[in-house]
Each structure stands twice: as structure tokens, then as C-alpha cells.
Amino acid sequence: MLLKDYQNNAIKELLGKAKKLITYGDAKRMVFKAPTASGKTIMMAEFLKQLCEDREVLASFSLIWTAPRQLHIQSKDKLEQYYETSRALRCSLFEELDDKRIDEGEILFFNWESINKNDNIYIRENEQDNNLSNVISRTKEEGRIIVLVIDESHHHATSEISQNLIRDIDPKLTIEVSATPAMESPDEIVSVQLEDVKAEAMIKKAVILNPDFENVLRDRKIQSQLSKQSEELVIETALKKRDALKEAYKKERVGVNPLILIQLPDRKTSLEDVIKDKVIAVLKNKHKITAESGKLAIHLAEHKENLDDISDPYNEVEVLIFKQALALGWDCPRAHILVLFRDWQSFEFSIQTIGRIMRMPEPDHGHYDTEILNYGYVFTNIESIEIQEDLARDYITIHASKRGREYSPLSLLSCHSKRYREKTRLAPIFIKVFLQETAAYSLSQRIRKKAKGLSARFISDYKAENVDALAGASIIGDRAIRVTGWDLQKYFDYFIRKSLAPFYAEDRSIGRLKEAIYEFFEQVMGMRYEVVQEEIVQTVLSEGNLVHFINVIDQAKDKYIDYISRREKELEFDQGWEVPETIGFNARYAIEDRKKSIMHPFFKSEYSGVEAAFMTFLDEQDKVVWWFKNEAKNPAYFAVLYEEDGDKRPFYVDFIVQLKDGLIGLFDTKAGLTQKVAGPKVNGLRTYVGEQNKKGKRLFGGIVTNTDGRNYAGRWVYFNREGKELSGSLDNWETLAF
């Protein structure tokens, strides 16, 4: 998996705080709080790898990973896959332990609920002397530090039995991992912010509750128009949305088959079978969706059908009936729609509930140009819904504002910044850059082709970092050094990691640099990695050659950083931007009476005083047909190009105003302006208006303010001259009169 910036930042923070905590004499506790779908397991996998490999930590580690239900098996599979190339850590179940102990760099995976029972085979004494207590004792006798990871800790870590078990394990460091942790007074907390996960497009922008139905929020409880409707209508509405998503994926030329999840309550009653049978009948009789056709899957305790490869993006299953138990840790990124029925009675929405429909199906692609695909959807006729915590309040969209019928198309040229994720890691283009630098440096002429043995200086440097790494190496005399096989690979891996700075030494970047070196040997030296890998590594690390590879790598990194820096400043253009048809708002927004807003209803945000006053002014103007409050830093909104310090950037003006005579005003409200701050944006907007009017548009505008900067009771004036004419005075501003 290609790690995101926020993931690398979290891993770095986890490592720094963990290294500090283990230096203290007593046991310490740390919380890792990360939203559902942010990649908690992958972040923990990389963190544990770096902790065990860290050269500053003069200790060895044995690790225990616990999780509820069967999530520990899923976590074990994920970590084994993550370590498949590096073989950094070994993943084991209890019965797979060698010598009845947890070895150095080994992770023991446990089902927390099973070891929570006092009579469990792993806990009680037995003739084989093989229980958890004895395994822990033997592990500690060998001097290793035990780190305990409690995954999805909110499910179990606070119970009395759990706390007793933690005391029995007596780890040096306990790390509780959850989107909603329950630990009180931890020694350290590492948090991943939901905004950062959305910004990296790992998750959908929001989850929308009952789109196209009015939702009313009173005393933190939501009541919806859909609550009065039947289960049949809820299913039909969800299927219509699925069809729209399917068409949108076709438009994007993506083969994802969006999945509807119909979730039944966890409680076991006779009602469960009644609801299940009713849903199956509706799907079959009205929509021809059946288990026999392969379009319906069922995941209930006593009834399972069509579950093989259901997470595959192209799987033919369209609807899955399941219970909440499946939701824990279940990963199916094509799940787009969640359906809940009124038999839940009162219901609490949490980030855990909607977690199954938060993931983007192609996280390396990110968000799509077709906005409908960037959201998850919940359809329910539950009469009373409560949003459980602040995280869910920010993520669940319960209100919808729709574009008014008085709107006519604008077809404006808009721009936004391209998204690139190569600032902290090596992308495939690095290989091309590296090969270009090997040619510019004449590397093939500078190195000795038949070099044998590693540089003594390099061996000494590595030994200073890791005194245990020379096991199995043969050192003869002062210079002739022969290292082969796995130990040779250790030296090469160390060299690669050390050479990567300032990029993160994560597996993808390590592999990219190795691949670049192997490509050089194959394309230029005629040496294939598959045939002579050991000879290639010896050549790179040998005396006299090493410095040349260091020089080329450094030059390639500089060129790569320059290339990425240029790309970050590139913009993408939308030739026909329109005001969005629908905009969603979460529970923190309230309706405000704004009679000429093109979006109905208008939802109040945290606007500045000058913005709010300008809206009131626009509402009072007879010649104004409608106005739109634009937002910033979102490709779905409107921006014009401007230049500052030689860089091209998007300028998101605050207001778009439609007048009765067909003129369109573009205004940005400002207070306390300076030429340095606003000058480049003024020039950009002025240039945009002039160029577009030459092409037949009817635009005007500029930056706007009020002559009364305190109460906004003066004249509204706007500035549309060159930025160099902007000063502290309003003398050269024009009165804004429609």
C-alpha cells in the first residue's frame, strides 16, 4: 500500500512517543485515534516495523495484537501481506509459537473475547505448561520488551476482565487503537484528523442521510420525511441511487459495481426472520434481485450466500443483507449505500456505523470528477435518529440545499489545483529520473564492473548502527570482506533506507529505489536482476563504487524534488463550470433566511461580518436575480487563475451574482486590505473578466468592501483596477450600484 502523508506523519509521531514512553521504569499507555477507513492497521504495521528496526532503541521487542471477534485473523492477514516483501516481522497465532514463547520481532495475534474467559485454554493451567501466562514469562526471561496492541479497543478494553488480563500480561507499553477510544488518562495520544483523511481522498467526502427527503434536526435528533414511508419505498429509493452510481462509474470508465448494504439489528428475535424474508421478497418480486441470480448476498448467523469475493470491485452482487456484527473491521470499498429499517426504533449514528460505506473504492485514484461517486448514502425510515459523537456530526450530511429553478447556465471557465501525492515518497517517474542522472554522471564508465566484497567503511558504518547484523558474515584481513545471501541483502536494504532521506523509508519508496538501480544494471550494464542479483549488490556496495551510487542517487533526488515542486503548481481547468445542483450540510449548520440565495434553503456557516452584511445588501437589490456564496479550496467551486511570486494559483471569489440585465458579478469581500495581499488576486480577477468578455461573456466585479468597516452601514464599493493602484485609501474605488 502506498502510504499517504497523514499516515507517514502519524507513524512518525507514534514512533517518537513510543520510544520516549519505553524509557520510563513503569508501564505506559498510549492511544492511537484514527477514523474508520483511514488505514489504522497499515499505520500500525509500519509503526511496529520501524519500532523494531530503530537503531536508537537498545532493546528487542515481542508484540501481542488483540482484537474482538474474528478481526484478529483479518489483521494478521493484512500484516502478513504488508511484511511479505520485507519479512520485517513474523505474524503468529498461539498454536504457531515456537518454543512456547514470543520471539524477537514476532507478533502474537489473539481473539480478545476468547482470552477474556477465565476458563479459556490459553489462560488455564495445562499439562503441556502452554498457556499465555507461561508464554509471557518465558518471553520476558529472554529480556524482551512486550508491547500490547488492543485493536478496536472501544469494544472490550475497559471491562474488568480485560483490565485484569492487561495486568497479567504486564506489557511495557499498551497501545489502544480505535476511531472512538475509551481509555481514560493515557500517557500519550496520537490522533489522525478526519479532514486529513478526506484531503487524501482515502474516504468519501461525506455520508448523506436520506437525500431528496427533508431532514429536521431537533435536540440532536433527526426526523426525516422518509420515516413515514414503507420499507418497500426505502429499498426502491436505495436501488435508484445505486443505478445512478453505476451510470456515474461508467461515465468515469471505472468498472466498480456499487453495493447496497441492508443492515438488520444485532438482537436475536423472531422479527429478524420476518424482516429478512420481507426484504428478500421485495428484492425478488419487484426488482429481480435474488441469491440464485448472484445479485443478492446474505451474511447472517444461520444463513450465508454469495459471500465469496464480495469485496472485489467487479463482483456481481448488488445487495448484501447483514447484521451489525459484520460491520466490525469489514472492508468492502465498493459498498456505497447503507439501508436501515424502522425496526431499529431509536438509533444512534456513530462513525463506526457508517464506516462500511466511507471508503473510496480506488484510494490511489482518490475522488472522482463525477461528484455523486464521492459520497456515501444512508436510506432509512427510522423515526428517531441521534448522532452519537462530534466526529459523526461533522461527517454525516443531513441537510441538502438545492439550486433554484430561476437558475440559467453560466458555463464559466474555472480552475483548481491538481492533486499530487509524491512529496514524501518516490513515484514511478523517479526511475526515469534516476536513469537520466546515471547517463549524465557517466556512471557506467566510473564504476568497476567486477568489484567484489563490500566497502570496509560501509561495513563499519553499518556495524555502528546494528551490531547484530554481522551474524554469518566472513571477514578476512582488513579489506577482503565476503558477505553473501540474506546478510548481503541486509546491507543493501540498510544502504537504500539511509539513501532515501528526505523521503520516508517506507516499503514502496525502498522498492522504487531498488528497482531504479536494477533497471540501470539491466539497461546499461546488461546484468539482469533475476540472474545476478548478488553480483549487482556487491558491485553497488564495493569499495570505490559506493560513492558514485551515492552521488547519482542524491542528484536524482534533487531532480525529482524539483520535478514534483513544478507539478504541484499545475492547475486543471473546467471549461463549463456551473453552480452545484445540490450542496450537503452536516448537523452543525442551521437554516438562515436569505431570499435571493440561489441555493434553497440557505444554510448558515461561520461567515465574517463583511460577508454577512454583503448578503443582506444583495438581498435588498431589485436588479439582483440571485447570488451564490462560493466556497474555497474545493474543485466543485469556482475559481479564477492568478499569479503570485511566479506561481499560478486558484482564487476562489466569495460571491457570484446574477443581474436581471444578464450581467454576472464576481465579488470577493475584503476588510483591512493591503496591496501585497490582495494585489495579485485583483490582477487575476481583472485579467479573467477582460479575457472572458472578449469571448462573449458579460462579467464585471472585483474586491468589495464597505466604507464603514465596523458596522457596514456605509457605501458598498468595489475595486477593479490594477493591483499596483491598491492602497489604504478607498478614493479610487467605485460605488457598487446595481
| Contact (Cβ atoms closer than 8 angstroms) between residue 320 and residue 261 | yes
Instruction: Kindly write down the DSSP assignment for every residue of 558-609, as one continuous string.
Output: HHHHHHHHHHHT-EEEEEEE---SEEEEETT-EEE--TTBSEESEEE----H
| Total residue count of the chain as it appears in this document | 738
CATH of 202-403, one of 3.40.50, 1.10.287, 1.10.3470, 2.30.30: 3.40.50
With a CB cutoff of 8 Å and minimum separation 6, the contacts of 264 are 272, 275, 276, 300, 321, 322, 323, 324, 341, 343
Instruction: Report how far residue 18's alpha carbon sits from residue 22's, in angstroms, rounded to the nearest whole number.
Output: 6
Helix (H, G, I), strand (E, B) or coil at 447: coil
Q: Which residue has the cell 413515514?
A: 228
Burial category of 646 from C-beta neighbours within 10 Å (exposed 0-12, middle 13-18, buried 19 and up): exposed
pLDDT score of 418: 73
| Contact (Cβ atoms closer than 8 angstroms) between residue 401 and residue 601 | yes
Please report, for the chain, the start and end positions of each structural domain, with discontinuous segments joined by +. Answer: 5-198, 202-403, 429-568, 578-735
Cut 0.85: pTM above it: no
Sequence-ordered alpha helix ranges (H) in 252-311: 270-287
Do 5-198 and 202-403 come out as alike in CATH topology?
yes
Q: Which residues of the chain have pLDDT under 70?
A: 1-2, 113-130, 153-162, 215-225, 266-272, 324-330, 343-352, 387-393, 419-424, 451-487, 505-506, 566-569, 633, 671-677
pLDDT score of 563: 80
| Contact (Cβ atoms closer than 8 angstroms) between residue 156 and residue 162 | yes
Angle, vertex CA 465, rays to CA 459 and CA 468, nearest 5? 80
Task: Provide the residue type at 390 as one letter.
Answer: D
Other CB atoms within 10 Å distance of the CB of residue 525: 16
Q: Which residue has the cell 428478500?
A: 280
Provide the b/e sequence for 111-131 (b: ≥16 CB within 10 Å): bbbbbbeeeeebbeeeeeeeb
Other CB atoms within 10 Å distance of the CB of residue 7: 27
pLDDT score of 604: 85
Return the closest-CA partner of residue 490 out of 468, 509, 506. 468
Instruction: Report how far residue 708's alpha carbon sits from residue 726's, in angstroms, rounded to the nearest whole number.
Output: 18
Report, at the CATH architecture level, how domain 5-198 is classified: 3-Layer(aba) Sandwich (3.40)
pLDDT score of 473: 40
Q: In what order do the strands lie in the sheet with 384-387?
A: 215-218, 221-224, 384-387, 346-349
The answer for 404, left when phi > 0, alpha when psi is -120 to 50, beta otherwise, is beta
